[in-house]
């Protein structure tokens, strides 16, 4: 089975297998092919978990009816990884620890993070931020810290195999505190992150929710144009928090801190890295 062969979406027949930390047959075979291709071409990959995320994110990029679907998906995945490594080097992200970057960003702009919503009603884990409190950017060092921190949050939002298969949601809230100048700064962040959103990240972004005050609706069109088409198609824009809450499960934890969220998510992520293996091939 190759990349994109989704003929077996259920996990292996052994019901005792923990699907959070194991590959299906088609995922395992696809990751093995992608891994060998990376080794042959000298493309660095971080972990098997990163590779399977690329397998999953490119799965829908080519129609199954295409006779060359498997080969095309493999090349798309390789291209994304190669672009990702070049992008990280260009911005200095290969020299930054993502967890450290998250802590630095938290200290510099604590109100930027919005960890109130844990999941949407479709079960996607949420990565949220407050667009009225955009983090400090402008110098290369600050930009790099922001990019490394955001990517680390995305990685932690899909911390095991089930979460990677399901995908994640992005949430932007203004909470009545967005001004024109703050909106312009946030647009700059969107432009800065656009390259990563378009054709190199490895996470399935299933939904994007944005709460924007009505007096700033004229900013929506240029902001949407900065987003890749697939992200744009999944974007839901609302005018107040009450409307936004209709998209999420009733339970929410107003006391959740980013530090606590990081710790709980990192524990799951580390367990996934330790348990995923291709040894049984």
* 51 and 124 inside one domain: no
* 107 and 197 inside one domain: yes
Q: Give me the pLDDT at residue 280, please.
A: 47
**Domain end residue (candidates: 90, 121, 136):** 90
Q: Give me the pLDDT at residue 223, please.
A: 64
Residue 34: domain span: 19-90
Q: If you ran DSSP here, which 8-state letter would residue 251 be given?
A: -
The CA distance from 172 to 231, in Å, is 14
Q: What SS3 state is found at 11?
A: coil
Backbone angles phi, psi at 267, to 5 degrees: -60, -40
Residue range 12-27, pLDDT digits in tens: 445 567 899 999 998 9
Low-confidence ranges of the chain (pLDDT < 50): 1-13, 280-281
Sorted by sequence, the CB contacts under 8 Å of residue 82 that are 6+ apart come out as 41, 43
**Domain end residue (candidates: 90, 112, 138):** 90
Q: Do the domain assignments include residue 243?
A: yes
* 239 and 166 inside one domain: yes
* 240 and 126 inside one domain: yes
pLDDT mean across residues, the chain: 84
Residue range 148-159, pLDDT digits in tens: 999 999 999 999
* 62 and 129 inside one domain: no
Q: Give me the pLDDT at residue 11, please.
A: 47
142 to 72, 101, 138, 177, 280: CA distances (angstroms): 37, 10, 7, 23, 43
Please tell me the pTM assigned to this model: 0.86
Total domains present in the chain:
2
């Amino acid at each position: 089975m190759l990349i994109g062969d989704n003929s077996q979406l259920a996990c292996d027949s052994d019901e005792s297998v923990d699907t959070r930390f194991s590959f299906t047959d088609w995922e395992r075979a696809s990751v093995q092919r992608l891994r060998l291709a990376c080794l042959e071409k000298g493309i660095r990959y971080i972990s098997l978990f990163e590779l399977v995320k690329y397998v999953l994110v490119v799965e829908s990029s080519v129609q199954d009816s295409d006779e060359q679907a498997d080969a095309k998906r493999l090349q798309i995945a390789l291209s994304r990884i190669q672009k990702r490594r070049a992008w990280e080097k260009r911005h200095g992200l290969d020299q930054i620890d993502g967890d450290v970057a998250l802590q630095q960003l938290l200290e510099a702009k604590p109100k930027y993070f919005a960890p109130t919503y844990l999941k949407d009603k479709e079960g996607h884990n949420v990565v949220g931020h407050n667009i009225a409190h955009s983090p400090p950017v402008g110098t290369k060092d600050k930009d790099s810290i922001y990019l490394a921190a955001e990517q680390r949050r995305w990685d932690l939002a899909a911390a095991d195999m089930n979460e990677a298969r399901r995908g994640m949601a992005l949430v932007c809230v203004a909470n009545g505190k967005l001004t024109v100048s703050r909106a312009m700064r946030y647009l700059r962040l969107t432009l800065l992150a656009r390259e990563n959103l378009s054709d190199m990240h490895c996470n399935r972004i299933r939904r994007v929710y944005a709460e924007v005050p009505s007096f700033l609706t004229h900013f929506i069109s240029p902001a949407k144009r900065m987003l890749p088409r697939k992200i744009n198609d999944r974007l839901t824009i609302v005018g107040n928090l009450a409307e936004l809450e209709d998209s999420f499960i009733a339970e929410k934890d107003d006391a959740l801190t980013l530090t606590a969220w990081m710790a709980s998510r990192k524990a799951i992520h580390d367990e996934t890295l330790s348990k995923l293996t291709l040894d049984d091939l």
